[in-house]
Amino acid sequence: MRRTTWLQELLAPIALVALLAIASSLWVSSADQSKFQTAIVYVAIVAALYVFVGNSGVLSFGQVSFVAVGAFSAGVMTIPAGTKPGVLPTLFPLLRDHSISNVWSLVLAAGLGGVYAFAVGIPLMRLSGIAAGIATLAVLGITYNLLTYWNSIGPGATTLSLIPETTDYWQATVGAISVILVAFGYQRSRFGRQLRAAREDPAAARAAGIDIHRQRLWAFTLSGALSGFTGGLYVHLLGSIQTNQVYLDLTFLTLAMLVVGGISSLLGAVVGAIAISLFTILLGNSEEGIHVFGWGIKAPAGTSLVGVAVVMLVILLLRPAGITGGREFSLPSTFARPRLRSR
Amino acid sequence: MNHVQALIDAIGEGAVFALIAVGIGLVFGVLRLINFAYGQLIMVAAYALAFPGNWPDAASIGLAVLAAVVASLVMERIAFRPLRTADPSTMLVATFAIAYLLQNGALLQYTYRQQGGLGDSIGTLSGLNQAVTIGSLHIRWVTFLAIGAGLVSLGGLALILTRTSIGLQMRAASMDFRTARLLGVKADTVIMAAVAISGVLAAVAAVVLSISSTSVNPTTGFQETIFVLVGVVAGGIDRLVSATLGAFAIGFAIELVGTELPNSGATPFTSNVYMPSVIYLAVIVVLLLRPAGLFARRGQRTVERV
């Protein structure tokens, strides 16, 4: 029994994602399916965020920068080379005259996200606490600003459109599960365990010979690569994108999902993303009118956003450590070996 | 546009940011919480200014102060107090949720009011938007108001902190909350006092902001607050003075860089559209060199580097 605990921990988040994908593709109207695909991509983004924030305990407002880099690189490079010079004439010639396939664009997005995170992380990972939070927020500000105005690398202040919409249920689900697999593999690896030890007690970890800066840098880089990859998934889902879609709103939303789910477990990341997405979809649909037991309910436009904020607040008040309490999944104790509680 | 004029404008912008920073710094001192919802508190106060329409200025300012104080106390009671012992990230996300709630609440009221456009005009103290002209320089009265309000609130706060019992308790709580409680400082009272004062300061900031913008919309105060949060941390959030100076510096730099960079040019860092990048880059450099903040006391190492 004890030996298979890791399998339960891994299968639970994967099963949730698969269940969400299968159930919504079977029973949800085709008009609503894109909302569920977005939810699955959010799972991937939050799981990528978790790799750094959850394991290190350092709050980063910067991971969406890597989502943005992934989204714009994958988007720009998959617009057909035939139409690109017409819509984006100011691009560097190398970017303007070539295009790559869907899969390669995801690889590119992951690569650029990782390289960018590594470069930024070398100096920034020396910081802790609030200084680290604000410095990563500054990175997000710079990324957003450059992407919005530098029209040699992207669309500038206009919308990037005509991106092939290749993220369907398959791509979203396989993508999200891949991110979960990598995140899980990392957190059980030697590096992941060292970083989690440093999260719990930096002084003791350092005394045990752990190089905290190096471990944080690894996690930041891996999280950056995964974030870039999810940016690629996201842009191929949307088909068109503006820089403010991968800026502060997405940062706050994904961090809120992670904390609401439970910041220090992968299951928490997945549960938080799914729970908040489902509430958003449900409340959003109530604005269009839903029927409950024959009663038509129609909420005024804008109610859903207020409602989601209230739901987040209520969950945090009821469960300050998140829905999962920051724990991974384990079967109820009747199936597991009884353990002494240390606390 | 000569350089002296640019400097004057920069000082005015810095003063507005410093004013916002005092309220954020005060709450941080007691609660160790970065309040992302502070900008929305300013927005609530600004809506209160816009609401009565043609009341006398003093009355509508009074209403704004009341609204901001009530909103901040409610925020404290429903979110900060139950989460005081929770993980800092939980409290932080709770402030996101409140910010989101207030911002979308403001948006929602337009659905009910069925009025075209998102925004209400504010005419409070509109005379202060006029400029005094000295030679070729134009200084708007609101600049004086911002500087004056900033100095008065810092000074008033200094008096409260050093000369009153509740101020002493606040300082004790911000140095070591647990020990202060053990010595009989009532946690709830101290926190409520700090939060209420930050509400008053939010209302003052709302008055100053709405004199120059002459209107309020659901995003009022948001962008300023983000920059101020960055500024207070870069300045040194552990002391009120260094936090305020940091916010002043970032406001000053934003205005100065924005006017001194040329207007056009797409290559990064060559025109004023890249002002945020310049500012954020400077902030990163400051934090790397002095993680506790630019204006923090020498030898003060509350923030550890790894």
| Complex ipTM value | 0.90
The Cα–Cα gap between B104 and A306 comes to 6
Task: Give residue-wise pLDDT tens across range A208-228.
Answer: 999 999 999 999 999 999 999
Q: A342 or B29: whose pLDDT is higher?
A: B29
Question: Is B113 in the A-facing interface, judged by CB distances under 8 Å?
Answer: no
Q: B127 or A58: whose pLDDT is higher?
A: A58
Query: What is the tally of structural domains in chain B?
Result: 1
Q: Can you give the pLDDT at residue B176?
A: 82
Q: Can you give the pLDDT at residue A3?
A: 59
Q: What b/e string do you get for A199-209 counting C-beta neighbours within 10 Å, with b at 16 or more?
A: beebeebeeee
pLDDT < 70 positions in chain B: 1, 114-117, 298-306
The Cα–Cα gap between B217 and B231 comes to 24
Assigned token pair, B257 = 């860089």
**Domain extent for B166:** 3-220
Task: Give residue-wise pLDDT tens across range A124-143.
Answer: 999 988 899 999 999 999 99
Strand B215-216 versus strand B120-121 pairing type: antiparallel
**DSSP conformation letters of A74-94:** HHHHHS-TTTHHHH-TTS-HH
3-state secondary structure of B169: helix
For residue A315, being part of any structural domain is answered with no
Assigned token pair, B122 = 């504010």
Residue A144 pLDDT class (50, 70, 90 cuts): very high
3-state secondary structure of A326: coil
The Cα–Cα gap between B254 and B283 comes to 12
CA A185 from centroid of its chain's CA atoms:
17
Contact A51, A223 (CB under 8 A): yes
Q: Can you give the pLDDT at residue A94?
A: 86
The Cα–Cα gap between A83 and A86 comes to 6
CA closest to B81 among chain A residues: A317
> Nearest 5 degrees, angle CA A123-CA A125-CA A129?
125
Question: What is the share, in percent, of chain A residues with pLDDT greater than 90?
Answer: 70
Q: Can you give the pLDDT at residue A343?
A: 46
The Cα–Cα gap between A120 and A63 comes to 11
Q: B160 or A299: whose pLDDT is higher?
A: B160
Query: Which of A123, A138, A149 minimises the CB distance to B273?
Result: A149
Q: Can you give the pLDDT at residue A301?
A: 65
For residue B32, being part of any structural domain is answered with yes
Contact A57, A195 (CB under 8 A): no
Query: Which of B34, B93, B276 minimises the CB distance to A141?
Result: B276
User: Are residues A138 and B78, on separate chains, in Cβ contact within 8 Å?
Assistant: no
Contact B72, B199 (CB under 8 A): yes
Query: Which of A129, A313, A321 minimises the CB distance to B87?
Result: A321
For residue A142, being part of any structural domain is answered with yes
For the cut 50, the answer to whether the pLDDT of residue A193 exceeds it is: yes
Q: Can you give the pLDDT at residue B240?
A: 87
Assigned token pair, A100 = 């790559």
**Region at B236 (left for phi over 0; alpha for psi -120 to 50; beta for the rest):** left
Contact B21, B247 (CB under 8 A): yes
Assigned token pair, A66 = 């890597």
CA closest to A256 among chain B residues: B93
Query: Which of B97, B229, B266 minimises the CB distance to A312?
Result: B97
For residue A23, being part of any structural domain is answered with yes
Q: Can you give the pLDDT at residue A277?
A: 95
The secondary element (H helix, E strand) that includes residue A248 is: helix A248-261
The single-letter DSSP state of residue A290 is E
Chain B residues touching A127 at Cβ < 8 A: 287-288, 291, 303, 305
For residue B152, being part of any structural domain is answered with yes
For residue B22, being part of any structural domain is answered with yes
For the cut 80, the answer to whether the pLDDT of residue A288 exceeds it is: no
Mention every residue, 6+ apart, whose C-beta is less than 8 A from residue A32.
Answer: A24, A281, A285
For residue B245, being part of any structural domain is answered with no
Residue A336 pLDDT class (50, 70, 90 cuts): low
**DSSP conformation letters of B92-153:** HHHHHHHHHHHHHHHHHHHHHHT-SSS-EE--TTGGGGSEEEETTEEEEHHHHHHHHHHHHH
Q: Round the average pLDDT of chain A to a whole number and report it.
A: 90
Question: Is B253 in the A-facing interface, judged by CB distances under 8 Å?
Answer: no
Contact B11, B143 (CB under 8 A): yes
Mention every residue, 6+ apart, whose C-beta is less than 8 A from residue B265.
Answer: B271
3-state SS, one letter per residue, for B1-35: CCHHHHHHHHHHHHHHHHHHHHHHHHHHHHHCCCC
Contact A76, A160 (CB under 8 A): yes
Assigned token pair, B15 = 């003063």
Question: Is B136 in the A-facing interface, judged by CB distances under 8 Å?
Answer: no
Question: Is B291 in the A-facing interface, judged by CB distances under 8 Å?
Answer: yes
The Cα–Cα gap between A181 and B197 comes to 49
Question: Is B270 in the A-facing interface, judged by CB distances under 8 Å?
Answer: no
Count Cα atoms within 13 angstroms, Cβ side, for A212: 25
**Domain extent for A124:** 2-244
Query: What is the tally of structural domains in chain A?
Result: 1
Q: Can you give the pLDDT at residue B226?
A: 93
Residue A213, φ and ψ in degrees, nearest 5: -55, -45
For residue A274, being part of any structural domain is answered with no
Mention every residue, 6+ apart, whose C-beta is less than 8 A from residue A318.
Answer: none
The Cα–Cα gap between B40 and A258 comes to 23
Q: Can you give the pLDDT at residue B304?
A: 46
Task: Give residue-wise pLDDT tens across range A74-118.
Answer: 999 999 988 888 888 888 988 888 889 999 999 999 999 999 999
The Cα–Cα gap between A252 and A257 comes to 9
